[in-house]
Amino acid sequence: MCAGSSFHYHSDALVGYELPLERFDEVRTRSLASMLERLCELDPRPLTVTRPPERHLIGCCRDAATLACAILRDHDIPARVRVGFASYLAPSVYVDLWVVERWDDERQRWILVDAEPEATVVGAGGATIDPGDVPHDQFLVAGQAWQACRAGVANPSRFGYDSETIGMEVIRNNLLHILARLKKMELMPWDLWGLSLIQIDRLTEDELALLDHAAILTLGGNDGALAARRLYARDPLTAGAATCYHLHPCQ
């Protein structure tokens, strides 16, 4: 389907290649059209042709998932980007991750695809993880993480980007991202808006209830997705302008 089109800006594949400073701006490439345009500038050959690391788009998991989702849809395979947390990227921590969920018609189920690794990875407890079919217990969609932490069955401090950027605010932000993705918004991981601009301990009971409802809808099927799109149009979910996350990798 695709010989590889993007690398994470921390990818081991870039070791030995001195990435020009200006190329880090590629991480800010927001729209799919702009991503494809940049890929053609780097290498005009089809994406099915293997290209060296320096001719990949420099981005993050969001970019890999977005490109993979577009390619799957171009092949008439139902697919959607899912925002959540993976258990297999770091010990004892669920790390922020964007993946693709594609429909497998033969098995009649949705399959999680981590578009970044090119081979199997070792997950929690030493289990081997196939990035083309990530077990659902190894990746929690943001709505699942929100529900588990709200119910007290999971520790919010185990979810985040790193040892400092963790907790319910990160989970809440990912929940809003997955809601917006269902509305086909082209978002960056560090975009903040509406309820994501409010400190978690300052949310009202009504606002928390709205997020609880959003979590349920983002985990549902087609009916839930349609309801989630309608919910996204409501304030305070969309109030306020998007802003850049303070730990933007290019800052």
Higher pLDDT, 208 or 18: 208
Supply the pLDDT for residue 25. Answer: 85
Q: pTM, whole model, 2 decimals?
A: 0.86
Model confidence at 23: pLDDT above 90:
no
Supply the pLDDT for residue 10. Answer: 64
Among candidates 114, 106, 97, 104, which has minimal Cα distance to 79?
A: 104
- State whether residue 86 is helix, strand or coil: strand
Higher pLDDT, 77 or 125: 77
- Do 161 and 169 form a contact (C-beta atoms < 8 A)? no
Q: From CA 245, how far away is CA 206, in angstroms rounded?
A: 25
Most confident of 123-137, 201-215, 229-243: 201-215
pLDDT above 90 covers what percent of the chain? 51
